[in-house]
């Protein structure tokens, strides 16, 4: 669980350093927590709770796959866009291959 807490703290730090949030107190309020709780997670005195993870996903669009080490993409909307693009490219490639097969069978 410590790895998840570390990734969660990295996400919170990114929110603040990117200017999306002013400080950890603002983040804490939006996810219905306290700044001292975030401090305790940062220092390893406690782990992030499931409720905090759920609120962070809901409020900020945290990508759960990032949190659990399955993706480097922090934001869910960016992850979904990338998957959509990959799917479209795959479909285009598949369509091109099918057209090529039809042409070769016709000759």
Entry pTM: 0.76
Give the distance from CA 67 to its chain's centroid: 7
Compute the average pLDDT of residues 47-66: 97
Query: What DSSP assignment string belongs to 60-97?
Result: H-B-HHHHTTS-S--BHHHHHHHHHHHHHHHHHHHHHH
Closest-CA residue to 28 (of 18, 86, 42): 42
pLDDT digits (tens, 9 = 90+) for 89-106: 777 776 666 666 767 776
For residues 23-45, average pLDDT: 97
Residue 98: its pLDDT value, please? 67
pLDDT of residue 14: 95
d(CA 63, CA 71): 8
Task: Return the CATH architecture of domain 1-74.
Answer: Orthogonal Bundle (1.10)
20 and 75 Cβ atoms separated by less than 8 Å: no
């Amino acid at each position: 669980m410590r790895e998840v807490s570390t990734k969660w703290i990295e996400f919170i730090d990114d929110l603040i350093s990117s200017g999306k949030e002013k400080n950890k107190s603002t983040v804490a309020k939006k996810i219905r927590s306290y700044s001292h709780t975030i401090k305790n997670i940062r220092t390893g005195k406690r782990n992030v709770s499931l409720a905090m993870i759920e609120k962070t996903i809901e409020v900020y669009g945290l990508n759960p796959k990032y949190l659990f080490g399955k993706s480097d993409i922090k934001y869910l909307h960016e992850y979904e866009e990338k998957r959509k693009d990959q799917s479209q490219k795959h479909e285009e490639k598949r369509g091109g291959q099918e057209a090529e097969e039809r042409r070769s069978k016709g000759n």
